[in-house]
Amino acid sequence: MTRKTRRTWIALAATAIAALGGLAPSTARAENPTLITGAPVPANELAQMLYPLRTRGIVMNNQPVAPTPFGFLIQFEYNSAEVKPESRPYLDEVGKMMRLPQLSGKQVMIVGHADATGGDAYNQRLSEERAKAVGQYLAARHGVSSEQVVTAGRGEAEPINPANPYDAKNRRVQFHPVN
């Protein structure tokens, strides 16, 4: 089974579970974004996650299969919004994704997150600055226009690992569909 096929089955299973539990798939997706680790995912797969093709297919409770927000563990310099070189390949795939014809006229929200190290106000500001830095990187390196990007910071408020608020996985950047 390929990685793409496995992701498709996981997405369908999550949608079915959400539907059986009485939740709208979009509600379940917003709370449980996919955290991508390992090798960068190709741009066309990222685009399919954020903006699934509208084709005939499975519809649960009259709800189409919802988009899948995704996140990366983007590394930044300490106490800084400067993206480290080892994180650039992930952002380069997002930049390529933003230039795909099927995303013409679409916006992506870049959301920065922090772990619980530091105070609330500090983490909020740092997560906002890091989201903006990612948007600036995409503009400078890939020509992504400012109209295509919306940025926000959530500080430490939405940990992906709530059991350990200091976990490095909580320091991430997520991408969400806007329109």
State the CB neighbour count (10 A cutoff) for residue 131. 25
User: E strands along the chain, which residues?
Assistant: 34-36, 70-72, 108-112, 149-153, 173-177
Per-residue pLDDT, 27:
29
Residue with tokens 């795939």: 93
Q: How many angstroms separate the CA atoms of 28 and 18, rounded?
A: 6
pLDDT at position 49 over 70: yes
- Residue ranges making up the domain that contains 155: 33-177
Q: Which residues contact 174 (CB under 8 A, 6 or more apart)?
A: 33, 69, 70, 71, 110, 111, 113
User: In which band, very low, low, confident or very high, does the pLDDT at 76 lie, cut at 50, 70 and 90?
Assistant: confident
pTM of the entire predicted model: 0.74
Residue 14 lies in a domain: no
Residue 166 lies in a domain: yes
Across residues 139-156, what is the average pLDDT?
Answer: 95
Residue 23 lies in a domain: no
| Total domain count, the chain | 1
| Residue 49's CATH number | 3.30.1330.60
What pairs with residue 36 in β-bridges?
72
pLDDT > 90 fraction of the chain, expressed in percent and rounded? 48
Residue 10 lies in a domain: no
